[in-house]
Structure 1
Amino acid sequence: MPPRAAYVHAPFCRHRCGYCNFTVIAGRDDLFARYLAALTLELERLPDDSEVDTLFFGGGTPTHFDPAVLEELLRLVQARLPLAPGGELSVEANPIDLTPEKTELLARHGVNRISMGMQSFNARKLAVLERDHRADDIFQAYERVRATTRSISLDLIFAAPGETLADWQADLRQAIALQPDHISTYGLTYEQGAAFWGRRERGELASAEEELEALMYEAALDELTAAGYEHYEVSNFARPGHRCRHNETYWLGREYFALGPGAARYVDGWRESNHRSVLTWMRRLEAGESPVVDRERLPPEERARERLVFGLRRLEGIDRHAFAAETGYTIEALGEVALADFLQHRLLEIVDDQLRLTRAGLLVSDSLWPSFLE
């Protein structure tokens, strides 16, 4: 069965934020038309009848496109990847891009989920994160989108340089007051290759203390669940019926299409990644060549280990019997010593044959995964 999910990467931004290490190109709006032409060539490589249940436009900033370009992007992708009835069509958006014209355009083309990368309402924190919007821009964009879109998600970053626990709690409470359908919370990371990495190495920025970052994460758990949000994945919270169905494709180990520079796909048991350079991705497609730079078929055991780690990110955890039936491996066979250790230290628990993270495990989840992947 072909994948029922697809991701399209739009790499353009007005400005590359200092913490960003994604495939992004800033200040090259002159490449819009060439990008669309190359994407059309990549879409033609897909099998016919590629109907999907979820379609996600990420970036970069898809809403950075001029209205005419954005409309053409939505049109040409949906012509090749039609959305099934009841499907989820998500677009990542920057608050200042959500003008009345673009908001109406998105709704007209069937976009029913907006993921707004607003990160904070705090002016000082927004400046530190090098964001180009203010709190007022968020409120105005939210009001417009709320009138036209079924589901709105807000992205929030915590543990920014100089941020206090009180600052973070204020961000959480302001987000809750808007009553979005979904909220994602991410601790700021310093990725090698991003500007913030170099600034931290030079002593210009300081990472938040681990204890403070843990308190901030726990504040998110407490504030959001108390407000009626279901904590369904390590970093994600949703009102009933508003989980991100597209991202659950990844966490459940299902296959998916992906297009655009740097995009990674999983189709017919093969994992492939496109070239991260926007220009190289374009040139390869223009020359009739494949944009793929890495390709591998994971052995069954490696697929099972990956399935285990992604599945444990979901708060529901993993049904041990279903996992063994699906992968051919028991969880014990993949990491008996690590599993026993994590259960003993109450980082994992088994409830009704579901293996899942405890609250203590949530706080250190990233440090657990290597033990299951080795």
Structure 2
Amino acid sequence: MKRKLSYTFLIVLTIIWLSTGVLKAQSNQFYNDAYQTIDNMLNDKQKYSFKDAVFSVENAYFQGKLDTVQLNREIKFLTRFAKAIVANRDLNYQQSDKARVSKYAAIYSIMCQTLPVAVQDTVIQYKPFNYDFKDVFGHHDITNLFVSKLLATKKGNCNSMPYLYKILAEELGETAHLALAPNHVYIKHQIKSDGWYNTELTSGMFPQDSWLMASGYIHLDAIKNGVFMKALNDKESLALCLFDLAQAYNRNFPDNDGAFVLQAVNRAIEVYPNFAKALILRAETHKAQFEKLMDKQNLSSSNPENIKKAQQDPKAKELMSLMTEEYMHIYEIGYRQMPEEMYLDWLVSLKTEREKYENKKLLNNFTK
């Protein structure tokens, strides 16, 4: 009887072990599929769609449970709404690219303005999306950075809001350029009347470049090297999705060996060489790999002497060399880390000093 129970117990343990392995492999497959989707777009093997790239990342994090049917339905509704605004509103703007600018203005209105909407004999007030100051960096819950969360709650941040703007622009047949500042993503457009201008969705404004420079963390080398304030093309925007994919993978699998993360960030860096967040994540992944090798040797990374001992291992020595070169390169291209508290103060300054930073001419052009 004992032998029979032991045999049964072994079978149960084997089934559990096998099913766990299958689930883990299945989980990884969601990330592999998302990576392949984005890589195919970069290689022109698949039709480019920023929306599909973004949702593939979010679906990987949710392990295939993202309701993309509902999300696409919501995107279609917002697209139809934007088209209705364009059809029923005549802007002051009178340049030859008015049709395109009217679409940008419609998306801006949907994102940032309260609008009266006629429903049969009743006029209701459409409420815009709002900035959510809770967990703006996604430290506690990475889904706070997701477009799916923004659509579900109408609350988002400087990651999800410009992403949704770009998605809607593409649905309307236009492009929108994402641009980066310290800890921040915003929109850049080029139009006939003003050339390049900025759209800041977190506060619903069109700030001048002086506001970006006021952060104090945008080094001139960072501008020259395209680290910050560069209008990203579509493929460079996909590099941001690859970074998001790597970051999400780290959250799903915090004890991973770094292989998938490096695959994603290295591809992102191929496309956008001075993408600071990807460069930092690559260096931090190499650092984590180095620390794991130290742990295997029972060496504490807080002791400088132990770090020297660890480098007797050829792999550890290689990782240490990579980390040193990578962190140095990040500094040389002009990246400077902005403290998170200062970032929030800087973001709020756009509203408190609106008169100082707002592009009033553009605001007038975007009105009826």
- The structure in which a higher percent of residues are helix is 2
* Both structures adopt the same fold (TM-score exceeding 0.5): no
TM-score for both structures, normalised by structure 2: 0.28
> Rg bigger for which structure?
2
